[in-house]
Amino acid sequence: MKIAIPSETDAGLDSMRSGHFGHAPYFTLVTFDDGMNVTSVESVQNADHDAVGCGGVIDFAISLGIDAILAAGMGMPPFTRFTNAGITVYADTTEPNVGRVVELFAAGKVAPMDPNAACRH
């Protein structure tokens, strides 16, 4: 399983998470084996939201070959696009550190995002 986590820097698991996936400077890509052990971590610069818009950022994230995205939140249009692309959206608003939220995710302590919690902006 490969997940993308919107991140403020390219510091991998040491990065702080970004509060808004569309404007995040980076995605930290984390790959897990079947036992939910981390097998690789990569930082990828996000597409420029101002240049490509929200749809372009979504297309970019989808192009990364991810199975899931773990965000602090997102609006309904991106949630729907990811879901329709077969990408599960997970949400966590409690842990600001990428490495720590990865630990929570691997332990099964991060739930899929409730569509009713989508941002309305």
**CATH code at 103?**
3.30.420.130
Give the sign of the dihedral formed by CA 111, CA 10, CA 19, CA 16. positive
Specify the amino acid at residue 101.
V
Query: What was the pLDDT predicted at 114?
Result: 77
Q: Is residue 107 part of a domain?
A: yes
In the three-class reduction of DSSP (H, G, I as helix; E, B as strand; rest coil), residue 78 is classed as helix
Query: What was the pLDDT predicted at 75?
Result: 83
d(CA 66, CA 70): 11
Task: State the pLDDT confidence band at 117, using cuts at 50, 70 and 90.
Answer: low
Query: What was the pLDDT predicted at 52?
Result: 66
Please measure the distance between the N-terminal and C-terminal CA atoms of the chain and give it in whole angstroms. 30
Report how many domains make up the chain.
Answer: 1
Q: Is residue 120 part of a domain?
A: no
Give the sign of the dihedral formed by CA 44, CA 52, CA 3, CA 95. positive
Domain holding 46, by residue range, is 2-115
Q: Is residue 121 part of a domain?
A: no
Over the chain, what is the mean pLDDT?
Answer: 91
Could you report the per-residue pLDDT of 18-59, keeping only the tens digit for each? 987 788 999 999 999 999 999 999 999 998 776 766 777 899
